[in-house]
Amino acid sequence: MSDSKNFPVSKSEADWKKLLKPDEFHILREKGTELPFSGKYNNHFEKGVYKCKGCSAPLYRSENKFDSHCGWPSYDMAIPGAIEYIKDSSHGMQRIEIVCAQCGGHQGHVFNDGPTLTGKRYCVNSASIKFIEENKF
């Protein structure tokens, strides 16, 4: 990633490539995105925690997940302090990128169009997270 911020979990590009599958590397380190409706967590609603695929930091709780019908896993909030917010004006749009506060791994974007009381929709790539069942964390 080209961001100049130093995150607590820092690895070389070569080390990230060893740790992550090619699609995970593309999303987490190169700010890519997966095709809508293709990610394994889009229609996943078990109880537990979703952690960063890069560093295992807890990012989202299952009780904050909802079906947004947008094609990507959506949450109405992140675990406090787990996410950093970066202005993103790429692709001719004004958006807020969300990255893991521990490793800087790209998660997706947050929008102000969520249907819950928070009014937020954290639109996340499945390849950037891993799920841990409630009784296993």
Active site residues: 123
Handedness of CA 26, 40, 49, 88 (dihedral sign): positive
The per-residue DSSP string of 60-126 comes to EEGGGEE--SSSS-EES-PPTTSEEEEEE-GGG--EEEEEETTT--EEEEEES--SSTT--EEEE-G
20: number of Cβ within 10 Å? 20
Q: Tell me how far apart the alpha carbons of residues 93 and 104 are, in angstroms, rounded to a whole number.
A: 21
Q: Tell me how far apart the alpha carbons of residues 16 and 81 are, in angstroms, rounded to a whole number.
A: 23
The residues that bridge with 12 in the sheet, in sequence order, are none
Structure tokens at 29: 């380190």
